[in-house]
Amino acid sequence: MSSAIPLNVGIARSAGAANADRGKRVLLAEPRGYCAGVDRAVETVEKTLEKHGAPIYVRKEIVHNRHVVETLRERGVVFVDETDEVPEGAVVVFSAHGVSPAVHESAAARNLHTIDATCPLVTKVHQEAKRFARDDYDILLIGHEGHEEVEGTAGEAPEHVQLVDGPGAVDNVTVRDESKVIWLSQTTLSVDETMETVQRLRARFPGLQDPPSDDICYATQNRQVAVKAMAPECDLVIVVGSRNSSNSVRLVEVALGAGAKAAHLVDFAREVDPAWLDGVRTIGITSGASVPEILVRGVLDMLAEHGYGDVQPVTTANETLVFALPRELRSV
């Protein structure tokens, strides 16, 4: 086993520890779950409901998590794909992933009361795109085609942005002036794959400039670092998160790349297949940045019933960042 894993001092035992089988254990990644941007976005919807009453509308999913979306829907939130589905004059919240200027214009044309829950770290990438477009750069946006965040960022400067969807897409990139090229990225990508893409881009365009600050968000990086730390010890890693959550899907890939023998993504404890546990001694648990802790607790309780009541934290960072709510909700 690797000795480089920064295991936290002491062992935290779950409620099922008394029934734990000797040799079976769970490594619980810290940090995991909600990031500051997701926490802000969910609270934005809750405060909007409190201020305006149901129904309120949210363009796309406020965050990419089934449980969160279903819970808010039960409270009177109506999720729509586009602003033209929102009644004129109604309240609409823009999701944490951000929107393009065209979406803002569409909402204004329908006289919608908009509340923007875009993560401030995504907003930072939007500002970078606008800045470099003004300076007439070719902007190579590393990200996944069709992802809402990518669509919003690209929409800030569509004539200057080219999407680069992974290392395999590098050969298709063309630029006007190799001395005026910069890369930006979706905030929820795999750090390692992104840097591989950047290396390939730089091999083609030696003058490629880096963004003014790191675009991949702190929470995405922290969760990947924690998974890398525990994966070599794990026979199985379970990532709690939804399939449309980019950062959750990346955690599965990172776990496998870092040495976990198997890794699976689940939304709920009931999706854990008991067959995955056959012959397994060490299970790693983490969750994506849009996952409430109650879902992780459900998985831990389920595993305790199967003898995995011994839970040991793997702590690689402590997160204290908090984002203020949108201005119009700060007094609610």
State yes or no: is 149 an active-site residue: yes
H or E element: which one contains 65? none
Distance of CA 117 to the CA centre of its chain: 15
Active-site annotation holder among 30, 61, 128, 149:
149
User: Whole-angstrom Cα distance, residue 14 to residue 33?
Assistant: 18
Contact (CB, 8 A) for 25 and 310: yes
Range list of β-strands (E), 143-201: 161-164, 181-185
Q: What is the CA radius of gyration of the chain?
A: 21
315: nearest Cα among 225, 254, 246, 251: 225
DSSP string, 32-56: -S--HHHHHHHHHHHHHHHHH-S-E
Residues noted as catalytic? 149
